[in-house]
Amino acid sequence: MARGRQTKAVDTVGSKRTGTKRDRYNGDEAKAIAKRPRQMKESFRFLDLPGELRNRIYQYAFDISYRSFPASSFRKKPKRGESPLPANTPQPIPYLSLTQSCTQIRREFRPWWMGSHKIPLCALDNYLSAFFPSRLKETKAHFEASTNTAGELRIFLRQDDMRGRDLLRLVKHKLRFPDYTIVFQQLAAVSEVRARGLEQLVNNQHPTWNRWIRRNDVVSQIRIGLSSQHSAGDTITVVMKEKHALPWMKPTLNQIVPNDFPPSIGLDKVTHWQISFAVDYS
């Protein structure tokens, strides 16, 4: 029987087929294509649109954002070859760029957009940094013109986001904007009593507490501690700087908080949560 013609999967080095004229032509053609100047995309003149059409675009962005954000889970699907991201990785906020655009677009869209959102607790610090930056004299007038200092901030609670979370930034925000309304909205896994207790903590306006928060050398953290047994034993730990810590705050086990101390700073009105203290020695 005649043998069938054998073929090679890969040409050996030095064979006649390597480096052919066709191969060289393809290489030259690829270089020529790479050297062609790229055509730049023209920018879209959004502000030239009539106001009615801009409002329709804002409405579309508002509706999409309201329906899709926040998601019940922020776990992203990893790309091939990437490690899975943590479950509490915040999802990008839809149409955030419109709120960071020019002055006119911010004035038109930003108040509407900000009033529609529930901000996940895991994304709260970045959100406050973006929309409520530190006071700067040169930008104070511009900030006050584009920001509603008596608005509403709705915070979305998931149990995974709460564990070990530091609430000091949020408490400072309330002190800076006392007319701001801060409410917590939660999934079914987070009990109503947990959410209401956090609202009472954030909205505490006791003069001594406010004085502590206003200074940067008294309280360094306000941390959430969740009990593994449903919601019994949940704690709020106020971490004090060492020079302001009282002797009874220093024990880490079996700490006894004097009965008259929480009322002296307004924390006796915080329901459900057990208030404890720790010391920052840094």
Burial 63-91 (b: 16+ CB within 10 A, else e): eebeeebbeeebeeeeeeeeeeeeebebb
Q: Could you check whether the bond before residue 92 is cis, i.e. omega within 30 degrees of 0?
A: no
Question: pTM higher than 0.85 for the full model?
Answer: no
Q: Is the pLDDT of residue 182 over 70?
A: yes
147: tokens are 């920001």
Give the SS3 label for residue 154. strand
- pLDDT for 74-100, tens place per residue? 444 555 666 666 655 656 677 878 887
210: tokens are 């406010």
- pLDDT for 192-208, tens place per residue? 999 999 999 999 999 99
Q: Write down the residue that tokens 């899709």 correspond to.
A: 68
Q: Write down the residue that tokens 């869209």 correspond to.
A: 109
